[in-house]
Chains A and B, each alone.
Chain A
Amino acid sequence: MLSITATAAGGSGNQSALNSQGAPAIHVEHLIIGITVVCAVVWLLVMIVLGWALLRKRSSDSGPPRDRPLTTIVSSAVAATVVIIAALTIASFYTTRSIGLPGNTALTITVRGQQWWWQVIYADANPAFSFQTANEIHIPVGQDVQIQLESADVVHSFWVPSLAGKQDLVPGRSNSLLLRAERPGTYRGQCAEFCGLQHTHMAMMVIADEPADYQRWIAAQRENSVMPTYADAAAGKAAFLSKPCAACHTVRGTSAAGTTGPDLTHIGSRQTIAAGLLETTRGSLAAWIADPQTLKPGNNMPMVPLTSVELRDISAYMESLK
């Protein structure tokens, strides 16, 4: 039973607690397997005793029940229970310590949960180097990263199972979490605390890069948005700035400085849009902008009336924002 569980869950792609790729998740996975084995054995023992107690052959003479040996057996079982749970408590305590944040981490990233997307803030001592992105977090491989968790509205929960256990984002409080990836790759995560209508579609990607790639990515993100080179994208930029879009979205290097929605400065470089809902392509961007309420009912981006030309141009512009 246990092995079925383990294999079935293990090969499940990149959002699985049993496919751990970072130190915290690996520690926890060991603990999960350990406790599960112990508990499965205890359960089996109880079942064996149950079966035997029910089905054993009974001598036909019905002498008075002898309670003395039973008392001994029951007391030993209770004693064994005490020992086992003490052991489990201690194991769990040590694991807790090993997944805690070390005193100092080189990199701190702030994640603010919003209904229903993730605002990601890479703050730098030099404000010119600070930037924001959304729903996609890049981290360097093999390095402890502190994720600072805040919420703009309701309680959310940050959970990237392959890298670490979850931690809530609580309004009015600031929590933190140790994140670490041992191997490069894209790790999917998903909001785990019910947060309203689109709790379902509040995913994020953590992308672990080799240090050089990571530095390249950081450098690119620090840049302002690129100037459109093609005519449709340029027209799209004009339309974007003249429509309500700019009231909600920031595109650095333009006059768009809204903060209600995600920062779109480098939207074209992200793998997905709308918190993991769609892969980023010109088509999906168009579909999203044309009718966000059908794709993600109830989300906080309204449908902005656009002509088909405007829509095409804006999508081209968005895609060009690499």
Chain B
Amino acid sequence: MIVRDEVEDLRDTALDEVQLDRRLSETWSTPTGLWGALSTVDHKIIGRRYIYTAFIFLALGGILALAMRLQLSEPEARFIGPDRYNQIFTMHGTNMMFLFAVPVMEAMAVYLVPLMVGTRNIAFPRLNAFSYWMYLAGGLLLWIAFAVDTGPDVGWFAYVPLSGPQYAAGKRADIWAQMITFTEVSALAVAVEIVVTVLKQRAPGMSLDRIPLFVWSMLVTSFLIILAMPAIMIASTALILDRLVGTHFFNPAEGGDVLLWQHLFWFFGHPEVYIIFLPAVGMVSTIVATFTRRPVFGYLAMVMALVTTGVLAFGLWVHHMFVAGLPRLGESFFTASSMAIAIPAGLQIFCWLATMWAGRPVFKTPFLFVIGFMVIFVIGGMTGVMVASVPFDTQVHDTYFVVAHFHYVLVGGAVFPLLGAIYYWFPKITGRMMSETLGRWTFGLIFTGFNLTFFPMHILGLQGMPRRIYTYQPEMPWSGLNMFISLSAVILAAGFLLFFIDAIRSAASGPAAPDNPWGASTLEWATSSPPLPYNFARLPVVGSLEPLSNNSETLSVAGGLSVDRRELIVTSVVEALPEARESSPGNSIWPLWSALATTVLLIWSIFTPWAVVWGSIPVSIALIGWFWPKGTPEDDT
């Protein structure tokens, strides 16, 4: 144990830069070795882990996609049987949505938001550690189950009664439902951290109108998570109860209702797609601003668009149920509200176009991905508007047309910005640059491969090809396009492979990155690449939307913080006026124990309801261990 001088309260003002770095490193560093790795609460280490893990899930999900494309490449192929195929598309969808797309956006936020708002760690850093372990456990649960042939096979929205006690024997559907619990717990935890970090830990002077757009987008996203995820928690709990203890929520014979599931799922599921998309919007705004060398046109409009999208997101869910037999008049309302989303979406597109027009574009890889995003996402948005029309949707719902729509918006609208964001922030995260040449190749391959793969799916859908079929008969006129799609998917996969190669190679041996390689203007570039454990030696003070824009060599900072404990500043919500110095919790192994105990409880409860009773004992113990003060300066001063 470190022996501390109790009376001393050393402030940064008393130290020169070298001493300050030494003292801060002492308080903030994560110890090396396994124990340090397991107990760290540094948002950068956890964020990095989160990102790596999510990308591994992307690769795994992509490999499943290739397996499906192999099976569908020719009629009546026999590579994969129906049982396995159903598991594969369910795994692909579930994995991509719950283990890749949502977590990767949160991961980027966990890493970037504290840096962008100029603080030293995320709010509730231990919760953050806990959240990562829960996410990892949920992912392992799903993939191990799949490996032993118990992967869920009911589709990523697991409609009842197919997933209910009568038609889904075994534990497959329970695995799906419990995986939901894992990922939702972790997503909710991160959402709370982001909300509190953004509202209360912004650098002094970063008033609401100086918050970077990426941070705004994450704030709105976090509120969406907070308000949408409870619906899926309720739904999946009800499903598990129906399956395990014989409740009748979804059993029409006993007063339950099948559509109740669909309502609950999509009340979550629609906001879910904006939970994936809005962070991407933030990334696009950031990249556009940096590579056109001017702030994004219409800051206020952009923020309003984010908020409007977030609000509208809760009024659209029925557009996934247009053919379920709800009253037509009600459905028309949801056509109107779904189409209305085109207004904020269009506003954002127009503002980016205006920015590009007025700025001086620099065509670096991150910006290329943004251009690709514009091309692809607008197509996806247009098909979204198409399926929002009730009569149109009666023809294309549950066909490859919808598969095309959502890959255009998911891959075009979220993965393209994400890849751009990786190229953009890679230097900050790793301290090394990625290769510009390989980056261009990656972009070219993915852009071409993507369009060749997914555009023909629109046609297939209109030609009557339903989704989720493991094969089709040679008489159907679909084989040519399917073969074409499958071959194109190889180009797409090659692009992703190149991306992984570039990322891994660059992380190991790319050229060293300067602090601010792109000449960007947000605060994460005001510290070293990669940032030190304490992020900023002295916390920045912000006087404009673009703190680094005037290219001045000096950064305004605040002084007077203690270096004896992990300390950061709490500021007011609107004006970001300093309110208090606050300690930030130190490393702890208890989040890991808590996550383990919770994992045991959740998995055990697939088998018996008593697990909830007995399993909660170790969970409580672990939580008490977590919160019980250890007499550290962070706990006691």
Within 8 A of A (CB), among B280-328: 294, 297-298, 301, 323-325, 328
Q: Which of B335, B359, B399, B463 has the most chain A CB atoms closer than 10 A to its own CB?
A: B463
With an 8 A cutoff between CB atoms, is B574 at the interface? no
Known: A74-B354, A81-B343, A167-B323. A9 touches B162 (CB 8 A): no
Do the beta carbons of A172 and B335 come within 8 Å of each other? no
Range for the number of chain B residues in contact with chain A:
35 or more
Do the beta carbons of A70 and B325 come within 8 Å of each other? no
Known: A58-B360, A92-B392, A157-B398. A70 touches B297 (CB 8 A): yes
> B residues within 8 A CB of A52?
357
Known: A9-B459, A88-B385, A171-B252. A56 touches B391 (CB 8 A): no
With an 8 A cutoff between CB atoms, is A105 at the interface? no
The 5 closest A-B pairs by CB, nearest first: A172-B252, A165-B394, A175-B325, A92-B389, A15-B464
> A residues within 8 A CB of B83?
197, 297-298
Do the beta carbons of B391 and A27 come within 8 Å of each other? yes
Instruction: For residue B532, give the distance in angstroms from its CB to the closest CB of chain A.
Output: 36
With CB as the reference atom, state the residue of chain B lying closest to A159. Answer: B466
Within 8 A of A (CB), among B123-169: 154-155, 159, 161-162, 166-167
Q: A130 vs B549: C-alpha distance in the bound complex, in angstroms? A: 81
Do the beta carbons of B390 and A96 come within 8 Å of each other? yes
The residue from A5, A70, A170, A190 contacting B459, defined by CB atoms under 8 A apart? A5
Do the beta carbons of A50 and B354 come within 8 Å of each other? no
Q: Which of A11, A100, A195, A200 has the most chain B CB atoms closer than 10 A to its own CB?
A: A200
Q: Which of B81, B257, B379, B385 has the most chain A CB atoms closer than 10 A to its own CB?
A: B385
With CB as the reference atom, state the residue of chain A lying closest to B339. Answer: A85
Q: A172 vs B382: C-alpha distance in the bound complex, in angstroms? A: 35
Do the beta carbons of B395 and A17 come within 8 Å of each other? yes
Return the CB mask of B368-394 against A: 1 if under 8 Å, else 0: 000100110011001101100111111
Q: Beyond A149-B325, A166-B397: 10 further Cβ-contacts under 8 Å?
A: A12-B464, A13-B475, A13-B477, A32-B392, A47-B375, A99-B394, A100-B328, A155-B258, A172-B252, A298-B82
Q: A67 vs B346: C-alpha distance in the bound complex, in angstroms? A: 18
> B residues within 8 A CB of A195?
162
Instruction: For residue A56, give the distance in angstroms from its CB to the closest CB of chain B.
Output: 7
> B residues within 8 A CB of A9?
459, 462-463
With an 8 A cutoff between CB atoms, is B447 at the interface? no
Return the CB mask of A190-211 against B: 1 if under 8 Å, else 0: 1111111111100000000000
The residue from A15, A28, A78, A155 contacting B392, defined by CB atoms under 8 A apart? A28
Q: A300 vs B330: C-alpha distance in the bound complex, in angstroms? A: 38
Known: A5-B458, A190-B466, A195-B162. A93 touches B335 (CB 8 A): yes
Do the beta carbons of A31 and B389 come within 8 Å of each other? yes
> A residues within 8 A CB of B353?
46, 49-50, 53
With an 8 A cutoff between CB atoms, is B336 at the interface? yes
Known: A9-B459, A193-B398, A195-B162. A46 touches B378 (CB 8 A): yes
With an 8 A cutoff between CB atoms, is A238 at the interface? no
Do the beta carbons of B82 and A167 come within 8 Å of each other? no
With an 8 A cutoff between CB atoms, is B469 at the interface? yes
Q: A88 vs B347: C-alpha distance in the bound complex, in angstroms? A: 18
The 6 sampled A-B contact pairs (Cβ below 8 Å) are: A17-B462, A85-B342, A95-B391, A164-B394, A165-B393, A199-B466
> A residues within 8 A CB of B385?
35, 39, 85, 88
Known: A81-B342, A170-B258, A297-B82. A200 touches B470 (CB 8 A): yes
Do the beta carbons of A78 and B161 come within 8 Å of each other? no
With an 8 A cutoff between CB atoms, is A106 at the interface? no
